[in-house]
Structure 1
């Protein structure tokens, strides 16, 4: 159950390429901020951040197409589920709904989406904040550096999951409360933050028609931009926050992203896992507010 019943109004809907996109917004003053969730999540993953940031910012949290309350069209028909697609969605949302440049804040693959949006549409981004950025370790260009078991095993698993019956069975086994909770307990440094509410937030959209196909389409996606491709050409300043207890995105590799000149700060969050905004919102909210307040004012979109 949602423990914030009096904080949020019903989700709003924006039509993008003919598909309904769900988003939440709060705040009436200050620069705009767009929050971009990670794989399999939704705007609800920012429920602990939206009200606090909205005290000084106009906050928008969007459900990427294929996730949350947004449409889940069949992959490959009218939509391809790629980071470029999601990046364009965020950029179009900034122009059509927000109406001015915004700070783009992402978690996990949401970081790549935010950077892609900024790189392909430089006029929409005031800055990017990256929370445990996906390193995309199963990308085609990175597999040679992996242990041979993962280097060989990942493509085999992808081929198996591309068989409809196998893929659907795998998704149905994965999309169970006990399984989701077990995965979250691995990803979060503090198990106490893995609540029934959090499990429900992730489980509810997984029941939608088309959710399995979207999930399987992304598991087969091994191309597209890497963070080290986007950071050198990022047209705006960046800050990186990294939970040191993240089992999926190694901190030692994450540190390498701090070497790019666009990165103003690289901040370690000790003992925090893969989703700092949910596990340590008091830290994340304070850091984001301080950093955004240091940036120059926006110039209206033309």
Structure 2
């Protein structure tokens, strides 16, 4: 079922705020009965990236969609050693703990965890940190972290050498300010989305606005620089090797950033029950092809004990 933007907006509740580690965290919740489902967005996105999934999933589930700290309408504190209400390390360990605490304090128990892109690593990290909060995880076009320090050796020389150079340049404040100001333009955002989405009709003005709004918040530049410099932390295969719950993987085969051939290799881990290719779909299948993704997620949830 495809829902219009007006229908979706009318169906959604006002967002709520949860205070975590002294920072305001934005989230959306819908549905009063059934198992809990927590939806986690990718880099630069927000809970709004699940706007086409929430009204369908809430028919049988209690649905929660959270803005990770540093993104969306959640706080964007200064990057650095943790100080409550002041600064925080942007890492998958941080985001994983945020999801763990959200499940315990807001959801009130274990949940099905669904992630897109880097959100996949965040939900897996949460499951590894606290096995009691994860019933199962669904990974939609999981970030392969191809620019990670441990993976650069397999890249073409220009990407292997270029990534550290860009990271060093972005650490220079005037350069990062100029680069971010050029990146955070509607025309640029639309161009990036047209690359990521195989169906251009899914790249709407609404979608561009959803991604643009948080980029205007104070602190957005510092979060962007901190994440682009982040070449350590877990790889998806690290987390899948110790994942304490079952997983399914959905993968848009037309993803230009995360090759489906490499994604299929993740299905070799015993925790992965299904690998479902989504033909002709790009990097964000939940938004580009919700009519395909929603029934898969519904079946996955209803077939597992909860």
Bucket of the pairwise TM-score, normalised by the shorter protein:
over 0.9
Q: Distance in 2 between matches of 1:190 and 1:227?
A: 27
- Select 1:36's aligned residue among 35, 40, 43: 40
- Where does residue 173 of structure 1 map in the other structure? 182
Q: Which residues of structure 2 form unaligned runs of 5+?
A: 82-86
Task: Name 1:56's counterpart in structure 2.
Answer: 60
The answer to whether the 8 A contact 1:185-1:191 is kept is yes
Compute the displacement of 1:2 (Å): 6.9
Q: Residue 136 of structure 2: which of 127, 132, 151 is its match?
A: 127
Per-residue deviation at 1:4?
3.1
In the alignment, which of 209, 212, 234 is matched to residue 221 of structure 2? 212
In structure 2, C-alpha distance between the alignment counterparts of 1:121 and 1:168, rounded to whole Å: 38
Which residue matches 2:126? Answer: 117
User: What is the Cα deviation at residue 5 of structure 1?
Assistant: 2.8
1:87 aligns with 2:96: yes
Counterpart of 1:47? 51
Q: What does residue 253 of structure 1 align with?
A: 262
Structure 1 position 3, deviation (Å): 6.6
Once the two structures are superposed, residues 129-163 of structure 1 have per-residue CA deviations (whole angstroms, 9 ceiling, x without a partner) of 00000000000000000000000010000000000
Please, which of 136, 139, 144 is the counterpart of residue 145 of structure 2?
136
Distance between the aligned counterparts of 1:245 and 1:188, measured in 2? 8
TM-score w.r.t. the length of structure 1 is: 0.97
Residue in 1 that maps onto 2:241: 232
Shift of 1:291: 1.0
The correspondence for 1:265, drawn from 274, 289, 292, is 274
Describe the SS at the equivalent of 1:5: helix
Q: Deviations over 1:206-258 (max 9, x none)?
A: 00000011011100000000000000110100000000000000011000000
Residues 9-51 of structure 1: CA distance to partner in whole angstroms, max 9, x if unpaired? Answer: 2210000000000000000111000000000000000000001
Contact 1:3 1:197 in 2 (8 A): no
CA distance in structure 1 between the aligned counterparts of 2:209 and 2:8, rounded to whole angstroms: 13
2:113 is matched with which residue: 104, 108, 111? 104
Q: Structure 1 stretch 52-61 or stretch 3-12: which is displaced more?
A: 3-12
Contact in 1 for aligned 2:8/2:55 (Cα 8 Å): no
Check 1:170–1:144 CA distance in 2 against 1; reply closer, same or farther (3 A cut).
same
- Residue 253 of structure 2 corresponds to which residue in structure 1? 244
TM-score if structure 2 supplies the norm length?
A: 0.96
Partners of 1:2 and 1:197 within 8 A in 2:
no
The count of residues paired between Structure 1 and Structure 2 equals 297
Q: Structure 1: how far apart are the matches of 2:204 and 2:10? A: 19
Segments of 4+ moved more than 4 angstroms: none
Match of 2:295 in 1: 286
Q: In structure 1, which of residues 61, 68, 80 is the aligned counterpart of residue 72 of structure 2?
A: 68
Aligned equivalents of 1:249 and 1:294: distance in 2? 28
**Distance across 1 between alignment mates of 2:221 and 2:15:** 23
